[in-house]
Amino acid sequence: MVQEGIYFAVLAAISFGLWTVFHQQASKFINPIFGAILVSLTAVILGSFILLPQMKGITLFTNQKGILFVVLAGLLAFGIDYFALRTYSSGINISVGGPVIIGGSIALASIIGLFFLGEPISLLKIFGIVLVVIGSSILAAL
């Protein structure tokens, strides 16, 4: 099961990387608020086409906490889209903005997992987080 999760993580990383490129390219031509809304609307339409044929055979949620966390994630997804579009429309190169956005999200998620969600901490994990923060900081300073 963990191995399958790694495959999905790789697909998510590819999606995130391409998402970053498409945001950077779109930022020159679209209002950031409208762009963020359009990204979300596109996700709703695609998700609906995938979900509707499966509706009879799946459980949508098992606990209302799931709804709460997904709604919070949706609010933050709007922020990601909006702030990424604002970042790139300001003229920042993708070679700087992408690693800062993605690297910052890696560091934050790792710190929350290790220090607030009780995941096991090791020196190697802390070293990896430090390297991500150093790399993102170097690029942000360029």
Written in H, E and C, the secondary structure of the chain is: CHHHHHHHHHHHHHHHHHHHHHHHHHCCCCCHHHHHHHHHHHHHHHHHHHHHHHHHHCCCCCCHHHHHHHHHHHHHHHHHHHHHHHHHHCCCCHHHHHHHHHHHHHHHHHHHHHHCCCCCCCHHHHHHHHHHHHHHHHHHHC
**Mean model confidence pLDDT for the chain:** 93
pTM (whole model) above 0.75: yes
Task: Give the model's pLDDT for residue 109.
Answer: 94
d(CA 43, CA 47): 6
d(CA 115, CA 102): 20
d(CA 108, CA 62): 27
Start-to-end CA distance of the chain, whole Å, equals 41
Token pair for 38: 């359009």
Task: Give the model's pLDDT for residue 2.
Answer: 74
Task: Give the model's pLDDT for residue 105.
Answer: 94
pLDDT in tens, 72-114: 999 999 999 999 999 999 999 999 999 999 999 999 999 999 9
What confidence category does residue 63 fall into, taking pLDDT thresholds of 50, 70 and 90? very high
pLDDT in tens, 2-56: 788 999 999 999 999 999 999 999 999 999 999 999 999 999 999 999 999 998 8
d(CA 114, CA 126): 9
